[in-house]
A and B are shown apart, each in its own frame.
Chain A
Amino acid sequence: NAGVTQTPKFRVLKTGQSMTLLCAQDMNHEYMYWYRQDPGMGLRLIHYSVGEGTTAKGEVPDGYNVSRLKKQNFLLGLESAAPSQTSVYFCASSYPPDRKFNQPQHFGDGTRLSIL
Protein backbone atom coordinates (compact mmCIF):
# COMPACT_ATOMS: atom_id res chain seq x y z
CA ASN A 1 0.00 0.00 0.00
CA ALA A 2 1.82 3.08 -1.27
CA GLY A 3 -0.39 5.71 0.44
CA VAL A 4 0.33 9.15 -0.99
CA THR A 5 2.97 9.34 -3.71
CA GLN A 6 4.45 12.58 -5.00
CA THR A 7 6.48 13.04 -8.15
CA PRO A 8 9.04 14.35 -8.75
CA LYS A 9 10.94 14.33 -5.45
CA PHE A 10 13.30 17.12 -6.48
CA ARG A 11 13.28 19.73 -9.19
CA VAL A 12 15.23 22.85 -10.09
CA LEU A 13 13.56 25.40 -12.34
CA LYS A 14 14.54 28.70 -13.84
CA THR A 15 12.37 31.75 -13.24
CA GLY A 16 9.50 31.80 -15.69
CA GLN A 17 9.47 28.08 -16.40
CA SER A 18 6.37 26.02 -15.80
CA MET A 19 5.92 22.60 -14.27
CA THR A 20 3.35 20.26 -12.78
CA LEU A 21 3.65 18.35 -9.53
CA LEU A 22 1.75 15.09 -9.37
CA CYS A 23 0.10 13.57 -6.32
CA ALA A 24 -1.45 10.13 -6.36
CA GLN A 25 -3.23 8.32 -3.51
CA ASP A 26 -4.45 4.75 -3.39
CA MET A 27 -6.62 5.00 -0.26
CA ASN A 28 -9.81 6.05 -2.06
CA HIS A 29 -9.81 9.35 -0.17
CA GLU A 30 -12.28 12.00 -1.22
CA TYR A 31 -10.30 14.98 -0.01
CA MET A 32 -6.89 16.04 -1.30
CA TYR A 33 -4.70 19.01 -0.40
CA TRP A 34 -1.55 20.80 -1.53
CA TYR A 35 0.63 22.54 1.05
CA ARG A 36 3.93 24.35 1.01
CA GLN A 37 6.36 24.25 3.88
CA ASP A 38 9.01 26.91 4.37
CA PRO A 39 11.74 27.00 7.04
CA GLY A 40 10.42 27.90 10.48
CA MET A 41 6.85 28.02 9.27
CA GLY A 42 4.00 25.62 9.50
CA LEU A 43 2.26 24.04 6.57
CA ARG A 44 0.35 26.54 4.46
CA LEU A 45 -2.55 25.39 2.34
CA ILE A 46 -2.35 26.27 -1.35
CA HIS A 47 -5.40 24.56 -2.85
CA TYR A 48 -7.61 21.65 -1.92
CA SER A 49 -10.27 19.42 -3.40
CA VAL A 50 -13.26 17.74 -1.79
CA GLY A 51 -13.93 15.45 -4.71
CA GLU A 52 -13.24 14.61 -8.32
CA GLY A 53 -13.75 17.64 -10.53
CA THR A 54 -13.78 20.15 -7.65
CA THR A 55 -11.05 22.47 -6.40
CA ALA A 56 -10.90 25.41 -3.99
CA LYS A 57 -8.37 28.03 -2.92
CA GLY A 58 -6.49 27.78 0.31
CA GLU A 59 -4.43 30.30 2.22
CA VAL A 60 -1.74 30.97 -0.42
CA PRO A 61 -3.19 30.15 -3.88
CA ASP A 62 -1.57 32.89 -5.98
CA GLY A 63 0.78 31.63 -8.68
CA TYR A 64 -0.59 28.08 -8.55
CA ASN A 65 -3.33 26.14 -10.29
CA VAL A 66 -4.70 22.69 -9.59
CA SER A 67 -6.79 20.02 -11.24
CA ARG A 68 -8.57 16.92 -9.94
CA LEU A 69 -9.64 15.04 -13.05
CA LYS A 70 -9.44 11.68 -11.34
CA LYS A 71 -10.27 10.88 -7.72
CA GLN A 72 -6.85 9.43 -7.05
CA ASN A 73 -4.80 12.27 -8.58
CA PHE A 74 -4.33 15.90 -7.67
CA LEU A 75 -2.06 18.04 -9.83
CA LEU A 76 -0.38 21.28 -8.80
CA GLY A 77 0.80 23.58 -11.56
CA LEU A 78 3.17 26.51 -11.60
CA GLU A 79 2.58 28.47 -14.79
CA SER A 80 5.50 30.89 -14.42
CA ALA A 81 7.80 29.93 -11.58
CA ALA A 82 9.18 32.64 -9.29
CA PRO A 83 12.01 32.43 -6.71
CA SER A 84 9.40 33.01 -3.97
CA GLN A 85 7.94 29.62 -4.86
CA THR A 86 11.09 27.83 -3.76
CA SER A 87 9.75 25.51 -1.10
CA VAL A 88 8.91 21.96 -0.15
CA TYR A 89 5.50 20.98 -1.42
CA PHE A 90 3.41 18.36 0.33
CA CYS A 91 0.31 16.63 -0.87
CA ALA A 92 -2.16 15.11 1.58
CA SER A 93 -5.40 13.19 1.40
CA SER A 94 -8.13 12.24 3.83
CA TYR A 95 -11.59 10.79 4.19
CA PRO A 96 -14.40 13.28 4.57
CA PRO A 97 -15.65 13.98 8.10
CA ASP A 98 -17.32 10.94 9.64
CA ARG A 99 -20.43 11.59 11.75
CA LYS A 100 -19.46 15.25 11.98
CA PHE A 101 -15.92 14.40 13.02
CA ASN A 102 -12.88 15.04 10.93
CA GLN A 103 -10.34 12.48 9.83
CA PRO A 104 -6.54 12.80 9.88
CA GLN A 105 -4.67 13.68 6.74
CA HIS A 106 -2.11 11.36 5.20
CA PHE A 107 0.89 13.04 3.63
CA GLY A 108 3.34 12.25 0.87
CA ASP A 109 7.08 12.73 1.33
CA GLY A 110 7.20 16.02 -0.52
CA THR A 111 8.65 17.62 -3.62
CA ARG A 112 11.64 19.87 -3.05
CA LEU A 113 11.45 22.67 -5.60
CA SER A 114 14.10 25.32 -6.19
CA ILE A 115 13.50 28.27 -8.49
CA LEU A 116 16.65 30.03 -9.67
Chain B
Amino acid sequence: GESVGLHLPTLSVQEGDNSIINCAYSNSASDYFIWYKQESGKGPQFIIDIRSNMDKRQGQRVTVLLNKTVKHLSLQIAATQPGDSAVYFCAEISGGSYIPTFGRGTSLIVHP
Protein backbone atom coordinates (compact mmCIF):
# COMPACT_ATOMS: atom_id res chain seq x y z
CA GLY B 1 0.00 0.00 0.00
CA GLU B 2 0.92 3.64 -0.20
CA SER B 3 1.94 5.74 2.76
CA VAL B 4 -0.13 8.66 4.00
CA GLY B 5 1.89 11.71 4.96
CA LEU B 6 4.98 10.73 6.91
CA HIS B 7 3.60 7.43 8.15
CA LEU B 8 4.35 4.14 6.52
CA PRO B 9 1.79 1.34 6.39
CA THR B 10 2.47 -0.97 9.31
CA LEU B 11 2.04 -4.70 9.68
CA SER B 12 2.17 -6.12 13.20
CA VAL B 13 2.52 -9.86 13.68
CA GLN B 14 3.37 -12.30 16.42
CA GLU B 15 6.60 -14.23 16.35
CA GLY B 16 6.10 -17.46 14.47
CA ASP B 17 3.28 -16.16 12.29
CA ASN B 18 3.57 -15.87 8.53
CA SER B 19 3.73 -12.32 7.17
CA ILE B 20 2.53 -11.03 3.82
CA ILE B 21 3.65 -7.64 2.59
CA ASN B 22 2.05 -6.24 -0.54
CA CYS B 23 3.19 -3.87 -3.22
CA ALA B 24 1.26 -2.43 -6.15
CA TYR B 25 3.47 -1.37 -9.01
CA SER B 26 2.59 1.16 -11.63
CA ASN B 27 4.38 0.37 -14.87
CA SER B 28 3.01 -2.48 -16.94
CA ALA B 29 6.33 -2.52 -18.82
CA SER B 30 8.26 -3.40 -15.66
CA ASP B 31 9.93 -6.77 -16.01
CA TYR B 32 12.16 -7.03 -12.96
CA PHE B 33 11.13 -6.68 -9.34
CA ILE B 34 13.14 -6.62 -6.15
CA TRP B 35 12.30 -6.74 -2.46
CA TYR B 36 14.54 -4.92 0.00
CA LYS B 37 14.70 -4.96 3.79
CA GLN B 38 15.83 -1.86 5.63
CA GLU B 39 16.62 -2.05 9.32
CA SER B 40 16.79 1.08 11.42
CA GLY B 41 19.98 3.00 10.75
CA LYS B 42 21.03 0.71 7.90
CA GLY B 43 20.93 0.75 4.16
CA PRO B 44 18.44 -1.33 2.14
CA GLN B 45 19.42 -4.96 1.92
CA PHE B 46 18.51 -7.16 -1.05
CA ILE B 47 16.16 -10.01 -0.10
CA ILE B 48 14.85 -11.59 -3.27
CA ASP B 49 14.07 -10.71 -6.86
CA ILE B 50 11.79 -12.00 -9.58
CA ARG B 51 11.64 -11.53 -13.31
CA SER B 52 8.43 -11.05 -15.24
CA ASN B 53 8.65 -14.48 -16.85
CA MET B 54 7.96 -16.03 -13.44
CA ASP B 55 5.03 -15.73 -11.05
CA LYS B 56 6.67 -17.21 -7.96
CA ARG B 57 10.12 -17.49 -6.54
CA GLN B 58 11.24 -18.91 -3.22
CA GLY B 59 14.19 -18.19 -1.02
CA GLN B 60 15.05 -19.07 2.52
CA ARG B 61 11.82 -18.40 4.48
CA VAL B 62 10.73 -15.87 1.85
CA THR B 63 8.53 -16.20 -1.21
CA VAL B 64 7.77 -13.53 -3.77
CA LEU B 65 4.59 -13.72 -5.83
CA LEU B 66 4.03 -11.68 -8.97
CA ASN B 67 0.61 -11.06 -10.51
CA LYS B 68 1.16 -9.14 -13.72
CA THR B 69 -2.55 -9.00 -14.51
CA VAL B 70 -3.27 -6.70 -11.57
CA LYS B 71 0.31 -5.36 -11.25
CA HIS B 72 0.75 -6.72 -7.76
CA LEU B 73 3.76 -8.06 -5.94
CA SER B 74 3.84 -9.71 -2.54
CA LEU B 75 6.50 -10.88 -0.13
CA GLN B 76 5.68 -13.76 2.17
CA ILE B 77 7.87 -14.38 5.20
CA ALA B 78 7.41 -17.74 6.89
CA ALA B 79 7.73 -18.15 10.67
CA THR B 80 8.43 -14.47 11.22
CA GLN B 81 11.10 -13.69 13.78
CA PRO B 82 11.84 -10.52 15.78
CA GLY B 83 14.90 -10.01 13.59
CA ASP B 84 12.57 -9.60 10.63
CA SER B 85 11.30 -6.31 12.07
CA ALA B 86 12.22 -3.67 9.49
CA VAL B 87 10.84 -1.61 6.64
CA TYR B 88 10.29 -3.63 3.48
CA PHE B 89 9.94 -2.04 0.10
CA CYS B 90 9.67 -3.19 -3.44
CA ALA B 91 11.37 -1.85 -6.53
CA GLU B 92 10.45 -2.24 -10.17
CA ILE B 93 12.53 -1.79 -13.30
CA SER B 94 11.17 -1.66 -16.80
CA GLY B 95 12.87 -3.28 -19.72
CA GLY B 96 15.59 -1.15 -21.23
CA SER B 97 16.11 0.86 -18.07
CA TYR B 98 18.46 0.24 -15.18
CA ILE B 99 16.88 2.79 -12.90
CA PRO B 100 14.54 1.20 -10.36
CA THR B 101 11.42 2.86 -9.03
CA PHE B 102 11.05 2.29 -5.30
CA GLY B 103 7.87 2.04 -3.31
CA ARG B 104 7.55 3.88 -0.01
CA GLY B 105 7.70 0.75 2.09
CA THR B 106 5.82 -1.14 4.76
CA SER B 107 6.96 -1.32 8.36
CA LEU B 108 6.90 -4.87 9.76
CA ILE B 109 6.77 -5.17 13.54
CA VAL B 110 7.24 -8.62 15.03
CA HIS B 111 6.13 -9.07 18.61
CA PRO B 112 7.89 -11.76 20.66
Q: Could you list which residues of chain A lie within 8 angstroms of chain B, going by C-beta atoms?
A: 4, 31, 39-43, 45, 48, 50, 58, 90, 92, 94, 96-97, 100-102, 104-110
Contact B99 A104 (CB under 8 A): no
Contact with A along B15-36 (1 / 0, CB 8 A): 0000000000000000110101
Known: A42-B89, A45-B99. A101 touches B51 (CB 8 A): yes
Asked if B93 is at the interface of the complex by the 8 Å CB criterion, the answer is yes
14 additional A-B residue pairs with CB within 8 Å, beyond A101-B32, A110-B43: A40-B8, A42-B104, A43-B102, A48-B99, A90-B43, A94-B98, A96-B98, A100-B95, A102-B93, A104-B49, A105-B44, A108-B43, A109-B42, A110-B42
> Nearest Cβ in chain A — how far from B21, in angstroms?
15
> Nearest Cβ in chain A — how far from B66, in angstroms?
14
Q: Could you list which residues of chain B lie within 8 angstroms of chain A, going by C-beta atoms?
A: 3, 5-8, 31-32, 34, 36, 41-46, 49, 51, 89, 93, 95, 98-100, 102-105
Contact A50 B3 (CB under 8 A): no
User: How far, in angstroms, from A40 to B2 measured CA to CA in the complex?
Assistant: 10
Complex contacts, A110 vs chain B, CB 8 Å: 41-43
User: How far, in angstroms, from A40 to B106 measured CA to CA in the complex?
Assistant: 10
Known: A40-B8, A40-B104, A41-B104. A109 touches B98 (CB 8 A): no
Complex contacts, B5 vs chain A, CB 8 Å: 40
User: How far, in angstroms, from A107 to B100 measured CA to CA in the complex?
Assistant: 13
Complex contacts, A90 vs chain B, CB 8 Å: 43-44
Complex contacts, A104 vs chain B, CB 8 Å: 34, 46, 49
User: How far, in angstroms, from A104 to B45 measured CA to CA in the complex?
Assistant: 10
Known: A50-B98, A101-B32, A107-B43. A40 touches B6 (CB 8 A): yes
Contact A31 B98 (CB under 8 A): yes
User: Can you list 27 A-B pairs with a CB-CB distance of less than 8 A?
Assistant: A4-B43, A40-B3, A40-B5, A40-B6, A40-B7, A41-B104, A42-B104, A48-B99, A58-B99, A90-B43, A92-B43, A94-B98, A100-B95, A101-B32, A101-B51, A102-B32, A102-B100, A104-B34, A104-B46, A104-B49, A105-B34, A105-B44, A108-B43, A109-B42, A109-B43, A110-B41, A110-B43
